[in-house]
Amino acid sequence: MKTFFDGVFIDKKKLEEAGIKYPIKLEYFKTTGEEENVETRFGIEVVKTEYLEDSVKIESKEVKSVTNNLQEQERILTLLKNNEVTPIGVEDVLQEIIEN
């Protein structure tokens, strides 16, 4: 199951500094996986939407079984959102979060 957690548009100044001239939205989702006779595992999904001049480009990455604790899942999603983590970097960032 997947539910919306939060979203953010990347600051226009940051985009301009990177040479990007179009809006980018990041959305963060809670995912839940349940298997028979196994505790519930919580994951995350990050969706990046780029609003190009003549099209829309969507990229996403789901990481399953990040934690078995709902509060930890929400803490991680808040960190990802606050740091504007994109789908391409989410696995590396999660590895750092989990190791610390």
Range of the domain at 7: 2-99
| pLDDT less than 70: residues of the chain | 34-38
CA angle 78, 17, 95 (to 5 degrees): 35
* Lookup: tokens for 49: 């939407």
What pLDDT is recorded for position 39?
Answer: 73
Query: In total, how many domains does the chain have?
Result: 1
